[in-house]
Amino acid sequence: MDHHYTFHHELTKLNKKLLKLSATVEERVRRATEVIESKDMDAIQAIIVSDYEVDEMEIDIEEDCLKILALHQPVARDLRFIIAVIKINNEMERIADIAVNIAKRVDNIAKFKHQAAVSYDFSKMSDKVISMLKKSIDSFVNGDATLAKSIFLDDDVVDACRNRCYEDIKERIRKDPDHPGYHINTYLLARHLERIGDRAVNIAEEVIYFVEGTITRFN
Amino acid sequence: MELTSNQTHPAFPTLLSGAVHQESEQTRSQAYTTGRKTVGTPFVDKPRMTCRDVEVYYGEKCAINKISIDVGCNEVLAMIGPSGCGKSTFLRCLNRMNDTVPSCRVVGSICLDETDIYHPSVDVVPLRAQVGMVFQKPNPFPKSIYDNVAYGPRIHGLTKNKVELDEIVETSLIKAGLWEEVKDRLLEPGTGLSGGQQQRLCIARAIAVSPEVILMDEPCSALDPIATARVEELIAELRTQFSIVIVTHAMQQAARVSQRTAYFHLGDLIEVGATDKIFTNPKHRLTEDYITGRFG
């Protein structure tokens, strides 16, 4: 039997945990983008109150990483794997927090007496952000640095969506100056989505480090 | 064939390359090393020792297969690899310790400061002073601490009088980090010291004859963690004056003490590189597999 069986078994277990966290966070983001459109109060509350689950998973993964570092002193690809897991784990928890922020923001917007005749359409931006997040997870699972690098290009698209939203909201405020709070909150949804995109980029950077051993930063 | 990276990872069974995975370990190893070239940076600027196309045979058996590598000045070069890979055999070539094995034959060139150490005109006795050795098990002579250190300078005639000899003994023990512990009992037997102290005494004995290179064959494997830490600190200090080549099975030790690491496999030198690169991002699949415990 492989004399490092326990260590490799630990790595496999850790990987499964991270994938479970990733799937959970991806689902949270999907639900958060859905409530932007639906403003379903039950769904909003569900996202907000279940955030502790992600926090617990994140802590569990971090503890496993620290244990592996202390007990096995991994090197080479194993070391890069652990480092990538520590960082991606952190990014995932923050993305889940942003999903909660989106839910709270939507809750806030829904409580305004004033509602726009036509809600701002975030569907394209949401789809892109979810696709980036999914790609970042897939690139990690498959050790695919090329896929990870493609996320950098997607980020430009998401940034452009946010900029367009900024201009559109500015125009809406100009036309409807009596409800700036409503419009600003709407714009902040674009900011939240854009931040998820940024964090998917951070994950992609970690995937490139894990696969190729080079530290990459996308600006 | 040179294999520089792979997608295999235990956490990612989907990444296992089918062709590679189905081969036996031995077939795989042979395939990767046949006709291979050493990956990385085996050569340095201004080397202390140069080894070119070194082959070592025990009778008909080839233990080392055309290895070329430099030992730099003021560097610690760690040699790692599974048992039987030839790293100790190669280390012993560097001061002709293999001369004592009748069936052993060394081919190729090994130069110390541009002098071929295997040239018939070279006397091995001064050579072994220039290229000292510290062994796995501390082996002080059954003499006093003082005489252990003074032995080399005496037989090599390095001193004219007792005062000079005293000075060499003291300096060597200071450099070996042992002086403070033994200065009041220099005439007591060296074998009465603890294991870690005995090993540092052996290091003092090696440096008493002003070597250029110190070879260490698993110098800490018989020591406890505290004594190991002392010897590792000592290695770091000695590097400022000597070149050190260390064979170790403790990979974390190689990572801690060395500037360059060489990975041996079945008599081949697979990869040489900066230690931090070898342990974070090795270029060769075999190096990666060994240091991450995939085989060995």
Please compute the mean of the pLDDT values over residues B9-18 and round it to a whole number: 39
Residue A69 confidence (pLDDT): 93
What range does the domain containing B255 cover?
13-291
Residue B29 confidence (pLDDT): 44
B293 touches chain A (CB under 8 A): yes
Tell me which chain A residue has its CA closest to the CA of residue B277: A76
The CATH number covering residue B182 comes to 3.40.50.300
Q: Could you tell me how many CB contacts below 8 A there are between chain A and chain B? A: 59
Q: What domain count does chain B have?
A: 1
**Which of 206-265 (B) contact A at CB < 8 A?**
251-252, 255
Q: Is residue B212 part of a domain?
A: yes
Tell me which chain A residue has its CA closest to the CA of residue B284: A76
Task: Using alpha carbons, list the distances in angstroms from residue A76 to A82, B202, B279.
Answer: 10, 34, 5
B237: nearest Cα among B170, B146, B181, B172: B172
A3 touches chain B (CB under 8 A): yes
Residue B294 confidence (pLDDT): 82
- From chain B, the residues in CB contact with A2 under 8 A are 293-294
Residue B30 confidence (pLDDT): 45
Q: How far apart are CA B296 and CA B289, in angstroms?
A: 8
Residue B13 confidence (pLDDT): 38
Contact present, A122 and A36 (Cβ < 8 Å): yes
Residue A72 confidence (pLDDT): 87
B213: pLDDT strictly greater than 70: yes
Interface test with B, best of A4, A22, A77, A138 (most B CBs within 10 A): A77
Number of neighbouring beta carbons within 10 Å of residue A3: 10
Q: How far apart are CA A14 and CA A36, in angstroms?
A: 33
Q: Tell me which H or E stretch contains B21.
A: helix B18-22
Q: Which of A2, A73, A143 sits opposite B12 (nearest CB)?
A: A143
Task: Determine what percent of chain B is predicted with pLDDT higher than 70.
Answer: 88
Q: How far apart are CA B153 and CA B169, in angstroms?
A: 9
Q: Considering only A138-142, A209-213, B75-79, B218-222, which range has the smallest mean pLDDT?
A: B218-222
Q: Which of B7, B10, B279 sits opposite A76 (nearest CB)?
A: B279
Number of neighbouring beta carbons within 10 Å of residue B283: 18
Q: Is residue B5 part of a domain?
A: no
Q: Which of B14, B252, B288 sits opposite A77 (nearest CB)?
A: B288
Q: Is residue B154 part of a domain?
A: yes
- For residue B22, which amino acid is it? Q
Q: Which of B10, B287, B291 sits opposite A11 (nearest CB)?
A: B10
A142 touches chain B (CB under 8 A): yes
Residue A219 confidence (pLDDT): 74
Residue A210 confidence (pLDDT): 96
Q: Considering only A52-61, A198-207, B155-164, which range has the smallest mean pLDDT?
A: B155-164
Which of the 8 DSSP states describes residue B46?
A: S
Residue B224 confidence (pLDDT): 87
- From chain B, the residues in CB contact with A73 under 8 A are 252
Residue A1 confidence (pLDDT): 43
Instruction: Please name the residue ranges forming H helices in chain A.
Output: 5-38, 41-49, 51-72, 76-110, 123-141, 145-175, 180-212
A24 touches chain B (CB under 8 A): no
**Interchain proximity B293–A3, CB inside 8 Å:** yes
Q: What is the pLDDT of residues A89-108, one digit of tens each?
A: 999 999 999 999 999 999 99
- From chain A, the residues in CB contact with B293 under 8 A are 2-4, 7-8
Q: What is the mean pLDDT of chain A?
A: 94
Please compute the mean of the pLDDT values over residues A48-63 and round it to a whole number: 96
**Interchain proximity B15–A143, CB inside 8 Å:** yes
Task: Using alpha carbons, list the distances in angstroms from residue A173 to A16, A36, A50, A117, A183.
Answer: 47, 20, 34, 14, 7
B212: pLDDT strictly greater than 80: yes
Task: Using alpha carbons, list the distances in angstroms from residue A92 to A199, B66, B135, B169.
Answer: 8, 50, 51, 61
A3: pLDDT strictly greater than 80: no
Q: Is residue B3 part of a domain?
A: no
Confidence of residue B9 (pLDDT cuts 50, 70, 90): very low
Residue A2 confidence (pLDDT): 52
Number of neighbouring beta carbons within 10 Å of residue B53: 11
Q: What is the pLDDT of residues B140-153, one digit of tens each?
A: 999 999 999 999 99
A181 touches chain B (CB under 8 A): no
Residue A4 confidence (pLDDT): 60
**Å between A147 CA and nearest CA of chain B:** 14
- From chain B, the residues in CB contact with A14 under 8 A are 11
What is the CATH code of the structural domain delimited by A5-212? 1.20.58.220
Q: What is the pLDDT of residues B66-104, one digit of tens each?
A: 999 999 999 999 999 999 999 999 999 999 999 989 999
Contact present, B101 and B73 (Cβ < 8 Å): no
A18: pLDDT strictly greater than 90: yes
Q: Which of B7, B11, B287 sits opposite A81 (nearest CB)?
A: B11
Tell me which chain A residue has its CA closest to the CA of residue B253: A73
- For residue B198, which amino acid is it? Q
Q: How far apart are CA A67 and CA A175, in angstroms?
A: 58
Residues with Cβ within 8 Å of B143's Cβ and at least 6 positions away in sequence, in order, are: B151, B189, B190
Confidence of residue B36 (pLDDT cuts 50, 70, 90): low
Please compute the mean of the pLDDT values over residues A104-130 and round it to a whole number: 91
Q: What is the pLDDT of residues B45-64, one digit of tens each?
A: 999 999 999 999 999 999 99
Confidence of residue B296 (pLDDT cuts 50, 70, 90): low
**Å between A12 CA and nearest CA of chain B:** 4
Task: Using alpha carbons, list the distances in angstroms from residue B254 to A6, A88, B263.
Answer: 23, 30, 11
Q: What is the pLDDT of residues B189-208, one digit of tens each?
A: 999 999 999 999 999 999 99
B291 touches chain A (CB under 8 A): yes
Confidence of residue B19 (pLDDT cuts 50, 70, 90): very low
A217: pLDDT strictly greater than 70: yes
Q: How far apart are CA B194 and CA A167, in angstroms?
A: 77
pTM of this structure: 0.80
A77: nearest Cα among A134, A133, A15, A138: A15
B4: pLDDT strictly greater than 50: no
B35: pLDDT strictly greater than 80: no
B33: pLDDT strictly greater than 90: no
A88: pLDDT strictly greater than 60: yes
Please compute the mean of the pLDDT values over residues A107-125 and round it to a whole number: 89
B10 touches chain A (CB under 8 A): yes
B20: pLDDT strictly greater than 80: no
Q: Is residue B6 part of a domain?
A: no
- Do the bridges between strand B213-217 and strand B61-72 make them parallel or antiparallel, or are there none, so unpaired? unpaired
Q: Which of A81, A143, A213 sits opposite B281 (nearest CB)?
A: A213
A17: pLDDT strictly greater than 70: yes
Q: Which of B278, B287, B292 sits opposite A78 (nearest CB)?
A: B292
